[in-house]
């Protein structure tokens, strides 16, 4: 990882030197800033090629041989999720879940802070294991929840379930400002088994649902939910789901750590068999590189075409506005 980072840093430095030299040679304005952007594009393309090589290797060998797993090694395997204890119940759909993320928000127009809105949300990861062709392996940690498909719900049945969940669950305070980044950040600070399930509600949510003084009855909450246009969303992996797990193998006790965080960004649990997800990842990587390369080439054409005439004309139009 460190070696790859140093290589990309060297690529960026060399690209920046060449880009700025060519812009200075043409006496183009804003050379240092534009050179950074162009060099950044070149570096991203170079880094993506490394990702392409890895995706190609993964497609050729979608699963890591369990017989060769070593402590601390990143491994990849496919199988079926099975419960190893309790099973969660999703608050809106009522389905069984081993990995659960949910979120509910209602409109709230505030002249001073339009980002604030009533909301409640939560995550849970029940004890589970991956049943593979080579045997069972326990899974530990909170995976990247964004990789799960999202479903939205509305209607009487779902509001009833939401009201019952609100009345029965233990709630902690959430930040006032709604943010998708904050929602995903909940998983990063809730990865220990003792902290799950995690249910968060903000002050506006308590006020909108009549829960300022603490818990409230399901009937009252159900009435409050019906008064606003609440958006209910879930992401779920249930028992029996076929998935691909990527994580770090821990030998004592034997388990695959799929916990997602800044130092484990490649950890994941994604729906689908190992071969299918490997093929999908390769296709997505190829498309991403092609788009990125085309954008980088277009940026270079704008800056250097006709001795910089296109770039000067575009800059003049922007400045004249």
**Six token digits for residue 161:** 């379930």
CB of 243 closer than 8 Å to CB of 272: yes
CB of 79 closer than 8 Å to CB of 240: no
* Angstrom distance (rounded) from CA 29 to CA 311: 9
Distances (CA, A) of 300 to 42, 113, 164: 10, 41, 58
CB neighbours of residue 27 within 10 Å: 10
Residues 50-63: what's their mean pLDDT?
A: 92
pLDDT tens digit string along 167-199? 999 999 887 654 444 444 454 444 455 578 899
> Please, which residues have CB within 8 angstroms of residue 320's CB and are 6 or more apart in sequence?
none
* Angstrom distance (rounded) from CA 28 to CA 34: 10
pLDDT tens digit string along 84-136? 999 999 999 999 999 999 999 998 755 555 567 889 999 999 999 999 988 89
> Please, which residues have CB within 8 angstroms of residue 245's CB and are 6 or more apart in sequence?
76, 77, 78, 79, 130, 139, 256, 258, 268, 269
Q: What is the pLDDT of residue 180?
A: 47
pTM value is: 0.80
Q: Which of 65-69, 226-230, 272-276 has the highest mean pLDDT?
A: 272-276
114 vs 41: which has the higher pLDDT: 41
Q: Is the Cα dihedral 188, 189, 192, 193 positive or negative?
A: negative
160 vs 67: which has the higher pLDDT: 160
**DSSP annotation string for 160-181:** HHHHHHHHHS--EE--SB--HH
> What are the backbone angles phi and psi of residue 117, rounded to the nearest 5°?
-160, 150
CB neighbours of residue 320 within 10 Å: 6
Residues 43-58: what's their mean pLDDT?
A: 91
């Amino acid at each position: 990882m460190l070696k790859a980072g140093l290589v990309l840093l060297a690529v960026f430095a060399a690209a920046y030197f060449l880009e700025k030299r060519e812009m200075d040679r043409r006496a183009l304005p804003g050379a240092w800033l534009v050179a950074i952007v162009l060099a950044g594009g070149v570096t991203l393309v170079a880094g993506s090629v490394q990702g392409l090589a890895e995706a190609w290797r993964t497609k050729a060998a979608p699963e890591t041989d369990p017989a060769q797993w070593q402590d601390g090694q990143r491994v990849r395997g496919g199988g079926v999720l099975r419960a190893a204890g309790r099973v969660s119940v999703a608050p809106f759909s009522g389905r069984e879940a081993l990995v659960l993320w949910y979120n509910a928000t209602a409109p709230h127009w505030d002249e001073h802070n339009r980002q604030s809105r009533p909301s409640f949300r939560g995550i849970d990861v029940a004890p589970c294991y991956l049943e593979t062709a080579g045997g069972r392996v326990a899974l530990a940690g909170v995976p990247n929840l964004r990789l799960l498909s999202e479903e939205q719900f509305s209607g009487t049945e779902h509001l009833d379930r939401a009201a019952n969940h609100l009345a029965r669950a233990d709630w902690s305070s959430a930040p006032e400002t709604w943010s998708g980044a904050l929602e995903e950040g909940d998983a990063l600070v809730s990865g220990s088994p003792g902290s799950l399930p995690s249910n968060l509600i903000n002050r506006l949510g308590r006020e909108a649902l009549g829960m300022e003084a603490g818990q409230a009855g399901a009937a009252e909450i159900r009435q409050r939910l019906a008064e606003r246009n609440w958006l209910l969303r879930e992401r779920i992996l249930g028992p029996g789901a076929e998935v691909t797990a990527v994580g770090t193998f821990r030998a004592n006790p034997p388990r695959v750590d799929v916990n997602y965080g800044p130092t484990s960004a490649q950890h994941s649990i994604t729906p689908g068999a190992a071969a299918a997800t490997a093929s999908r990842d390769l296709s997505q990587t190829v498309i991403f590189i092609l788009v990125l390369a085309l954008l980088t080439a277009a940026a270079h054409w704008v800056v250097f075409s006709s001795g910089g005439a296109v770039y000067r004309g575009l800059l003049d139009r922007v400045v004249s506005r």
